[in-house]
């Protein structure tokens, strides 16, 4: 054997000088706090300039550039070109604003880097507490179970997976879908596209998702829904689930959830409610009546990164029957078996409630935000957003140059600029130009949708920084751009 000539050099990712990283860390925190504080002074959104696009195509960094250089590049090329959803005049799609406490708690969670599989650790207890709080906030029964997930889309997948397995009538996990008749699900035409994706992903086939017409208020036609179920049963299919909207994506329409719950009870069908947008309105005593029946759902999907203003990403699914929930996902493996003590000294694992094994500590930001701000504050902010939507709808109705295109029962307002000389195609083109100009000028970011063939500006206010004068500015800009667009 050769004698060892050199001592073994062992490396890690830790800094050799902790003081340097500490200084950099403090700078980052200072910079980002200021970034939040000064958000109103910046454009809502701006295009990345060419040098930035090029800078973000750099070759694979094989050798270290160092944390300072990485941070400088972040400051130069990444930070100035965000989605814009932290800005007070961002109302596009349905995006939450985040908060200072949310931001800082992401740092804390990343520092701990806990893997929230389960285990006897604080992170597990924190997530269980957050789920308990959400259950209480949404008036779900104490015995129900839940899981934090990446967002409403995943919450819908998990909820419908539980529904599918619980309602199949045979051991779907073992036998697979081929062992039974076609299972059908029912949702209004206003239902979010993630539902179709969920149904496809679950192997049910999108033609099993029956889209039911809506009335003038854009809520599901319950009679038509009942008739469809009866026809499908008659044709030998197995209706398994009705999907109710608590805040539908286009206009915020809330289905009559009480009637849906009654129907599901009668028909012995699973009720899944997509509350990605509207479920948090349950916090407001004034808004709660509109959601009546939601608490009777068998499963409920909601987003905390939308109307609870928490940083991306965090959503939640609640399931009334813990047994059904576990029935869809629980599994065992020797390497995950509980032990008589130690880290695996508790039998509980979150992987028995969803598809993921390793999971981030996203519960921490929810726990921190709820503690720091308190639920009453959230209730007031949600009411404030609804009041602001009402204010905007009022301004639209007062103007002869603007037209409201759907009722605005919640926090979403759909409207357009109108001019007597233009036909529908002309109005669609003009309003699209208005939208693009609003975004590209950095003045405001609404998004768009098409209602009955009409292109409209869609303002979804899930923003705790918005003030009424921001909406007044929007209205002025839309009218100005519309008039200007008429001339060109």
Ligand X SMILES: *Cc1c(COP(=O)(O)O)cnc(C)c1O
| Contact residues for ligand X, defined by CB under 6 A | 94, 151-153, 192, 194, 249, 274, 276-277, 303, 315
Whose CA is closest to 161, among 325, 320, 47? 325
Nearer to ligand X, 152 or 293 (CB): 152
How far, in whole angstroms, is CA 239 from its chain's centroid? 27
Cα separation, 244 vs 307, whole angstroms: 18
> What is the C-alpha separation between 323 and 161, in angstroms, rounded?
13
Beta carbons within 8 Å of 431's beta carbon, 6+ residues apart:
416, 417, 448, 455, 456, 457, 482
Q: In whole angstroms, how close is the CB of 10 to ligand X at the nearest point?
A: 42
CB of 441 to ligand X, least distance (A): 26
Q: CA geometry: angle at 245 spanning 306 and 424, to 5°?
A: 90
Given a contact cutoff of 8 angstroms between Cβ atoms, the answer to whether 476 and 439 are in contact is no
| DSSP 3-state percent helix, strand, coil across the chain (nearest 5) | 45, 15, 40
Nearest C-alpha neighbor of 383 from the set 471, 464, 457, 472: 464
Pick 416 or 458: Cβ nearer ligand X = 458
Three-state DSSP state, 28: helix
CA-nearest of 413, 435, 346 to 120 is 346
Shortest distance (Å) from residue 347 CB to ligand X? 30
User: Which lies closer to ligand X via its Cβ, residue 68 or residue 217?
Assistant: 217
CB of 192 to ligand X, least distance (A): 3
DSSP 294: G
Closer Cβ to ligand X, 303 or 352, answer by number? 303
Least separation in angstroms between residue 322's CB and ligand X is 24
> Residue 127 CB, nearest distance to ligand X (Å)?
18
Backbone angles phi, psi at 416, to 5 degrees: -150, 165
* 406 vs 430, beta carbon nearer ligand X: 406
Q: Of 88 and 152, which CB lies nearer to ligand X in the complex structure? A: 152
CA distance 101 to 371: 10
Give the shortest CB-219-to-ligand X separation in angstroms: 13
Give least dist CB 223 to ligand X, A: 23
Question: In this complex, which beta carbon is closest to ligand X, that of residue 277 or of residue 363?
Answer: 277
What is the C-alpha separation between 245 and 194, in angstroms, rounded?
A: 12
Q: Which is nearer to ligand X, 152 or 446 (CB)?
A: 152
Name the minimum Å distance from CB 20 to ligand X: 38
Q: How far is CA 285 from CA 385, 411, 427, in A?
A: 15, 16, 39
Shortest spacing between CB 230 and ligand X, in angstroms: 27
Nearest distance in Å: CB 314, ligand X: 9
Select 314 or 475, whichever has its Cβ closest to ligand X: 314
Nearer to ligand X, 315 or 446 (CB): 315
Q: Per residue, what are the HEC states of 88-127?
A: CCEECCCCCCCCHHHHHHHHHHHHHCCCCCECCCHHHHHH
Q: Please tell me the distance from the alpha carbon of residue 365 to that of residue 412, in angstroms, as a whole number.
A: 26
Map residue 449 onto helix, strand or coil.
strand
CA distance linking residue 111 with residue 249, whole number of Å: 36
Q: Rounded to the nearest whole angstrom, what is the least distance from the CB of residue 412 to ligand X in the complex?
A: 10
Q: How far is CA 265 from CA 244, 327, 454, 488, in A?
A: 14, 21, 37, 58
């Amino acid at each position: 054997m050769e004698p060892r000539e050199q001592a073994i050099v062992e490396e890690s990712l830790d800094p050799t000088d902790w003081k340097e990283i500490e200084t950099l860390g403090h700078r980052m925190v200072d910079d980002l706090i200021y970034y939040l504080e000064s958000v109103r002074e910046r454009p809502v959104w701006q295009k990345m300039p060419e040098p930035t696009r090029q800078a973000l195509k750099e070759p694979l960094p094989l050798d270290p550039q160092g944390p300072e250089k990485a941070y400088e590049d972040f400051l130069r090329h990444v930070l100035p070109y965000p989605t814009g959803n932290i800005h007070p005049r961002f109302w596009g799609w349905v995006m939450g604003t985040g908060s200072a406490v949310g931001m800082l708690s992401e740092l804390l969670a990343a520092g701990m880097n806990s893997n929230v599989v389960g285990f006897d650790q604080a992170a597990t207890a924190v997530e269980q507490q957050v789920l308990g709080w959400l259950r209480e906030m949404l008036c779900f029964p104490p015995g129900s179970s839940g899981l934090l997930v990446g967002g409403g889309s995943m919450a819908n997948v998990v909820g419908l997976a539980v529904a599918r397995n619980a309602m199949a009538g045979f051991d779907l996990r073992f036998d697979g879908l081929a062992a039974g008749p076609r299972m059908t699900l029912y949702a209004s035409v206003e239902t979010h596209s993630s539902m179709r994706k969920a149904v496809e992903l679950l192997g049910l086939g999108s033609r099993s998702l029956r889209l039911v017409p809506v009335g003038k208020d854009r809520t599901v036609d319950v009679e038509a829904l009942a008739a469809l179920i009866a026809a499908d049963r008659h044709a030998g299919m197995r209706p398994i689930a009705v999907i109710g909207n608590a805040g539908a994506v286009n206009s915020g329409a809330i289905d009559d959830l009480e009637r849906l719950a009654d129907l599901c009870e009668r028909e012995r069908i699973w009720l899944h409610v997509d509350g990605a947008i509207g479920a948090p309105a349950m916090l407001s005593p004034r808004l709660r009546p509109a959601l009546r029946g939601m608490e009777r759902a068998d499963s409920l999907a909601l987003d905390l990164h939308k109307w609870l203003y928490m940083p991306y990403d965090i959503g939640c699914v609640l399931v009334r029957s813990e047994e059904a929930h576990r029935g869809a996902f629980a599994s065992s493996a020797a390497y995950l078996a509980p032990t008589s003590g130690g880290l695996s000294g508790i039998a509980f694992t979150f992987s028995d409630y969803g598809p993921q094994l390793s999971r981030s500590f996203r519960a921490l930001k929810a726990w921190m935000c709820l503690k720091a701000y308190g639920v009453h504050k959230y209730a007031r902010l949600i009411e404030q957003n609804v009041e602001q939507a009402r204010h905007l709808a009022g301004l639209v109705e007062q103007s002869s140059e603007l037209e409201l295109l759907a009722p605005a029962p919640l926090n979403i307002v759909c409207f357009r600029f109108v001019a007597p000389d233009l036909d529908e195609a002309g109005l669609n083109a003009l309003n699209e130009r208005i939208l693009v100009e609003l975004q590209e000028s950095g003045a405001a970011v609404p998004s768009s949708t098409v209602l009955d063939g009409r292109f409209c500006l869609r303002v979804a206010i899930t923003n705790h920084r918005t003030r009424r004068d921001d909406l007044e500015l929007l209205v002025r800009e839309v009218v100005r751009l519309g008039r200007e667009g008429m001339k060109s």
